[in-house]
Amino acid sequence: MPQRRTLLLLVSVLVSAFAIGLATIYQPFLGLAIVLVLLLGLGVAIKPDIASLAVFFILYTNAAAVAVRFHGVPSIVGALFLTLLFIPLGYYLILKRQPFVFTPIAPLLVVYLLIQMAGVIFSSENMDLAFPNLITYITEGMLLFLLITNVVRTPAMLRQVIWVLLAAGVFMGSLSLFQYVTNTLDNNYGGFAQNEEQTVVDATAAIDDVPALVRQAGPIGEKNRYSQIMLMLVPLGMFRFWGERSKVLKVAAAGATVFCLIGSLLTFSRGGIVGLILMLLIMAVLRYIKLRDILLVIAAMVLVVVMFPQNLERLSSLEALTAIFDSDTTAGIKQTDGAVQGRATEMIAAGLVFIDHPLVGVGPGMFPYYVEQYARGLGIRLLTTNREAHSLYLGTAAEVGGLGLLCFLGMVGISMVYLARGHKRWQKSRPDIANLNASFMFVLVVYMTTGLFLHMSYERYFWSMLALANVAIYLSLHATEVQDTDSSAGQTANGKALPAAPVHAG
């Protein structure tokens, strides 16, 4: 019997190797994918948490969507990668008999769902168009949130997730930088380094002299959204740099932060630059960052501006926004560039839609179908296509009304209050917990500040980060119960606290 099993195993390995070889010859990406799937399966069988780490890397690099769009992978396969989280979920709930985790904002997720359902049923003019957006919230929002908060259960696991996210940032940022430096703009590197060429309008230049600005869009394919998701990784890298004890990990955290920052800045997104500046100002005002650190960050930003001066040029174009405050508002806006005119039109239209539908809005994802109608009477810029609000707050208000906006802001606000309290409570006795709370608080700060200029889209990024923030909250509320044997985290295996790590006090 043992000989038969050995022979069967050998035959299986040979057949698998032959199949992988054939696949690699005709479809290199498919062969690589098969090898990775086999390795992932082996790893998950040994340690279920590997499935969670794989999901975070796939999610943040948008690898599933890239595989579907650029490599012919069936869309159903790309959509089902999140089901990998059910493996560690079953491991914890069934095999280890651990309880299901409900974080403080979990009830609001259900309330937010009910508000959206009311919008679909009672306010939406086309339920067929609104219903898929409701399903997106259920799968990429509420379900993803509950899965993450139940598979990431220890400080050590949360730190591993952070390092996986930073690795994803390094992967994306390094590809964007390499493409930019080598000028290989016609190569999207398997779909992970997409870009967009944008004409820079200069009224004083001849038509032939008008330059083109190439803006990185990463695996997302949308430059402003790519800037946002890369920028959300920056505070994670900064607080890992401050929180890690190993010099090797400190250097790794610093390097990862730089690559994430470069990836964001290569998009030349004005909203991203403003979001970065606001995050640093809030850090300084709340004293999460010391003067020495501020000077280091300013020096790094100056270096980046020298390397990529287009960011300074893009930022200087925001001076045109002062024209909006002209005594004649419409005339003032018309003095700005086309992008500002378009966004001003979309934002004002979203405000008007909210005024007409103040309770539950016009239904999730439905504002683009109203924008042309509401923009027509503004006399600023004619919109002939369905456009988003380009504002998280106005777009949310238009689509889910005042009740939905209040619920959404409540989820974020409650989370940030808990995170701030957790940082303050544990910064001396459990600096590892304090560091995790502070890092995710500023992740939310980044999202909410960049949300001034971006609507809710690719929402899995937001809900996954909000879920991880709530993991940090849960760990803070149960810090005396959570076992963490990672001695680099500020606690030894026998539970005695190590000297406080350099987490900056608020």
At 187 the pLDDT is: 92
Distance CA 342, CA 334 (A): 10
Can you tell me whether residue 390 is helix, strand or coil?
coil
The residue among 228, 284, 264, 151 whose CA lies nearest residue 443 is: 228
- What does residue 198 show for φ and ψ, rounded to 5 degrees? -125, 130
CA angle 136, 138, 140 (to 5 degrees): 55
Are the C-beta atoms of 240 and 158 separated by less than 8 Å?
A: no
Secondary structure of residue 188 in the 3-state scheme = coil
The confidence score (pLDDT) of residue 77 equals 75
The Cα 355–Cα 374 span in angstroms is: 12
Q: At what angle do helices 392-426 and 431-450 cross, to 10 degrees?
A: 170
What is the model's pLDDT at position 109?
97
CB within 8 A of 93, min separation 6: which ones?
Answer: 100, 150
Lowest mean pLDDT among 375-384, 393-402, 457-466: 375-384
pLDDT band for position 229 (cuts 50, 70, 90): very high
pLDDT band at 494 (very low <50, low <70, confident <90, very high): very low
More confident residue, 232 or 486: 232
Average pLDDT in the 152-158 region?
Answer: 96
Q: Residue 319: exposed, middle, or buried by beta-carbon count in 10 A (0-12, 13-18, 19+)?
A: exposed
Is the Cα dihedral 143, 144, 148, 151 positive or negative?
positive
Specify the pLDDT at position 483. Answer: 61
Q: Is the pLDDT of residue 28 over 70?
A: no
pLDDT at residue 94, as a whole number:
93
Residues 480, 486, 487, 492: is their CA dihedral positive or negative?
Answer: positive
pLDDT tens for 256-300 read: 999 999 999 899 888 888 888 888 888 888 888 777 777 776 776
Q: Are 393 and 451 in contact (CB under 8 A)?
A: yes
Residue 396 contacts by C-beta under 8 Å, 6 or more apart in sequence? 404, 405, 408, 456
Highest mean pLDDT among 71-75, 253-257, 341-345: 253-257
Average pLDDT over residues 489-505: 38
- Phi and psi of 195, rounded to 5°? -150, 170
Q: Say yes or no to pLDDT of 6 above 70.
A: no
> Which pLDDT score, from 0 to 100, does residue 365 have?
92
C-alpha to C-alpha distances, 145 to 65, 138, 148, 310, 462, nearest whole angstrom = 20, 10, 5, 37, 10
pLDDT exceeds 90 at position 126: no
Task: Provide the residue type at 12 as one letter.
Answer: S
- Average the pLDDT over each of 76-90, 323-337, 398-412 and give the range with the smallest value: 323-337
For residue 190, the surrounding DSSP H or E stretch is none
End-to-end C-alpha distance for the chain, whole angstroms: 66
